[in-house]
Amino acid sequence: MSEKNSWLFNFSSYYDGGGLRRLIETARWFDQNEGGNFIVNEKAFKAVKTFSNKNVYFLVSPTRLERFFNDGSYLKDILQNMTTPDVYFSYGIPIPFNIGKENWFHISNATSLTTDKINLPLKRKIEMMLLKQRIIKSLRFVQIISGESEYSLNLLRKNDNIESKDFYFHILPNGYNTVEVERVIEKVTTKECYAITVGTYRYKQLTLAFNVFQFLKKINPKLAKFIIIGNKKDVPRKLLKSHIVEVDPCKNREKLIQLLSNAEYYISASQIENSSIAALEGLILSGKVILSDIPSHREMLINNNYEEIFEENSKSRFLMARYENANKIKEKYSWNQVIPILYEILEKYREIKYR
């Protein structure tokens, strides 16, 4: 980390999931270092308010309509109360005008850039298509674009609708919390015979994930149950009727880490991912991961041995891997390694800009 920069981060549209996890870890790191400015919603603020020694928070409450059509309405009021930031970092939110001296757009959700052949409710699909239009339009104010995988970066890099402009593209990976993971690894001695999946959106393809579980159960008859982490109302009825399916909303972070660490298998049948924090944690914590054969999952396993398996009913290919040496856990990025990459990206961009 070289010169000090003033940062304004916008996470205002994110309440849970990977967005909330990255917000928490970014806020934690900046509060322990030089401090940053964060635009957050009131619900997310509860998760980061303890990181307030050096950080400054701007609380906003955009409605659902504002989030999709006018989510920058609060920015001018915020900017009146601070000097122009050196860097404005927007987590998946269109940038409506020049906000920072340098403006940085992070691809937070791959479905906001492609809905082709993705299983989404019609309303959600329309929202994502409109958001994509606004993102592309807003890129005229952007210098740096990051994403959590090459796959997600290519959704913009190879988009024919973007006007010719020299963007600086770079991967900003997901991470894991070393304290959480190492604490759990010390406690776990043997895996329990169950499989787990995280998320209940339609594109997570829970029925297909359950079919994979049944395939595994033929190989390992002791496999007792399939745990789905998420909202019960989004789980297909067929699965709810099964006595071996257990649905847990699991709002407690420590419990989720414990469930992942005790699982024999982590299964993801997702049609699309930017890069999944849950899959990364599953790879590190669970006995084995069974991942759908999509580009971002292949990227995640690039330095791991894996084998291909086929789900018979759908003829779908999956990738099965085990994180081979828990003692080498630092080979995967911890959040303490990920956050400083912000500075590395910024320095590389400036070297190119001012050469």
Q: What's the rounded Cα separation, in Å, for the pair 339 and 353? A: 22
User: Confidence class of residue 2 from pLDDT cuts 50, 70 and 90?
Assistant: low
Instruction: For residue range 105-164, list pLDDT tens digits in order.
Output: 999 988 888 888 888 888 888 888 888 999 999 999 999 999 999 999 999 988 877 875
Same domain assignment for residues 206 and 78: no
Same domain assignment for residues 280 and 191: yes
Compute CA distances 156 → 106, 139, 293, 308, 354, whole Å: 11, 10, 21, 29, 24
Same domain assignment for residues 171 and 191: no
Q: Is there a domain that residue 2 lies in?
A: no
DSSP 93: -
CB < 8 Å & 24+ apart, contacts of 112-118: 113/152, 113/155, 113/156, 113/159, 114/155, 114/272, 117/271, 118/203, 118/271, 118/272
Residues whose CB falls within 8 Å of the CB of residue 354, separated by 6 or more in sequence, listed in order: none
Q: Is there a domain that residue 344 lies in?
A: yes
Q: What's the rounded Cα separation, in Å, for the pair 221 and 248? A: 23
Q: What's the rounded Cα separation, in Å, for the pair 111 and 129? A: 9
Across the chain, mean pLDDT equals 89
Total domains in the fold of the chain: 2
User: Confidence class of residue 71 from pLDDT cuts 50, 70 and 90?
Assistant: low
Q: What's the rounded Cα separation, in Å, for the pair 298 and 311? A: 17
pLDDT for 159: 83
Q: What's the rounded Cα separation, in Å, for the pair 147 and 124? A: 21
Q: Is the pLDDT of residue 324 over 80?
A: no
Asked if 142 and 103 touch (Cβ cutoff 8 Å), the reply is yes
Same domain assignment for residues 81 and 162: yes
- Rounded to an integer, the average pLDDT of 80-101 is 94
User: Confidence class of residue 335 from pLDDT cuts 50, 70 and 90?
Assistant: very high
Residue 258 is part of which domain span? 178-331
Q: Is there a domain that residue 260 lies in?
A: yes
pLDDT for 5: 87
Q: Is the pLDDT of residue 329 over 60?
A: no
Residues whose CB falls within 8 Å of the CB of residue 78, separated by 6 or more in sequence, listed in order: 8, 39, 58
Return the half-sphere exposure (C-beta side, CA atoms, 13 A cut-off) of residue 101: 11
Same domain assignment for residues 311 and 219: yes
Same domain assignment for residues 51 and 113: yes
The angle formed by the CA atoms of residues 62, 67 and 69, to the nearest 5 degrees, is: 120
Same domain assignment for residues 262 and 344: no
- For the chain, percent of residues with pLDDT exceeding 70: 92
Order of strands across the sheet that contains 245-248: 245-248, 225-229, 192-198, 263-268, 288-292, 316-321, 306-311
Residues whose CB falls within 8 Å of the CB of residue 183, separated by 6 or more in sequence, listed in order: none
pLDDT for 3: 64
Could you identify the residue written with the tokens 């909330």? 20
Q: Is there a domain that residue 210 lies in?
A: yes
Residue 186: how many other CB atoms lie within 10 Å: 8
Residues whose CB falls within 8 Å of the CB of residue 327, separated by 6 or more in sequence, listed in order: none
Same domain assignment for residues 233 and 319: yes
Q: Is the pLDDT of residue 330 over 60?
A: no
Residues whose CB falls within 8 Å of the CB of residue 251, separated by 6 or more in sequence, listed in order: none
User: Confidence class of residue 303 from pLDDT cuts 50, 70 and 90?
Assistant: confident
Q: Is there a domain that residue 1 lies in?
A: no
pLDDT for 327: 46
CB < 8 Å & 24+ apart, contacts of 75-78: 75/39, 75/99, 78/8, 78/39
Q: Is there a domain that residue 49 lies in?
A: yes
Same domain assignment for residues 160 and 263: no
CATH number of 213's domain: 3.40.50.2000
- Rounded to an integer, the average pLDDT of 303-312 is 87
Look at residues 275, 277, 229, 281 and name the one whose alpha carbon lies nearest to residue 257.
281
Same domain assignment for residues 314 and 182: yes
Instruction: For residue range 160-217, list pLDDT tens digits in order.
Output: 778 757 899 999 999 888 888 777 766 666 678 999 999 999 999 999 999 999 999 9
**Which residues does residue 91 pair with via DSSP β-bridges, in sequence order?**
106
Q: Is there a domain that residue 76 lies in?
A: yes
Same domain assignment for residues 228 and 140: no
pLDDT for 13: 84
Q: What's the rounded Cα separation, in Å, for the pair 334 and 28? A: 13
> pTM of the entire structure?
0.90
Q: Is there a domain that residue 265 lies in?
A: yes
**Positive or negative, the Cα torsion across 59, 65, 71, 77?**
negative
Same domain assignment for residues 72 and 161: yes
CB < 8 Å & 24+ apart, contacts of 130-137: 130/68, 130/69, 131/68, 131/94, 134/68, 134/69, 134/94, 135/94, 135/105, 136/161, 136/162, 137/94
